[in-house]
Amino acid sequence: MKVRRKYILNFSIVLALLSLVLSAIQFNRTKESLLESNQFFFRTIVNASYDIVDNTVNEAIKTYLKGVTDTVASHTLGVTQEQEVKEVIRIANELVIGESGYIYLMSPQGVHLYHPFLQGQNRAHLIHIQTQLTSKSGMTQYSHANPHEVGKRAKVAYSVRLPSGNTLVATTYKDELMYLVDLEALKDKLRKYSYGDSGYVYIVDLQGELVLRPNFEHEHLKALIGYSSELLIDKVVAEPEGHFSYSI
């Protein structure tokens, strides 16, 4: 009888341990599954939101730069090529595009007939220049650093081919024209991607300033998530895409 009780006791202990192990395995699997599901959910929302933001920003910038090139082009109608260059230079000296933007004029071969930094140079070997030379009009985006700058940034340009055959381009860094975006209209577009009772989408620049978030625009990210903001900015700089958790 004692042997039987001992056997039952040992069996129960083994069964209990086995149950604990299986429960732990199941818990970890469930936890991993929930984590993967959440990450997929957030990734889907962020990607969709990014497309909306990028398209909205691009459309605003395109409209603005097209207005610049159309205005400049209207001053070159019915003039000789020499007069065309002089007129572009005259306007360029008075024109402000963002903080560091400018216009330039290229021959059909890609030689800069006017450029504030690269006058007389042929840059037809560059992909974005090739696109501008082969298109009647349109916007291009590329990474670029002006001669006096360190580190490339996202740049946008709108080009138009003039009757003379030369190509006129207006360009600046993308982040310098963010003020053109209608934030209220953008909020309306992003509102459908809110989730749960407290979920939302917000946009922050690399200095930690909130570009878009209801009731917090133009405040530092620290006002929203506290000191976790510094960790978030560091992670974004190191990894442009990824998952990040923080406490508030």
Tens-place pLDDT, residues 218-233: 556 666 666 666 777 7
- What was the pLDDT predicted at 234? 75
Residue 68 and residue 103 in contact, taking contact as beta carbons nearer than 8 Å:
yes
**pTM, to two decimals:** 0.68
Phi, psi of 117 (to 5 degrees): -120, -25
174 contacts 155 by C-beta, under 8 angstroms: yes
At residue 226, the pLDDT reads: 67
Predicted local confidence at residue 181, as pLDDT: 77
Stretches where the chain sits below pLDDT 70 are 1-42, 45-47, 193-200, 202, 204-229, 236-237, 240, 242-248
Ordered by where they begin, the domains of the chain are 60-178 (3.30.450.20), 202-248 (no CATH)
What's the confidence (pLDDT) of residue 210? 64
- Tokens 């603005």, residue located: 64
Which residues contact residue 142 at a Cβ distance below 8 angstroms, ignoring those fewer than 6 apart? 127, 128, 154, 155, 157
What integer pLDDT is reported at residue 188 of this predicted model? Answer: 75
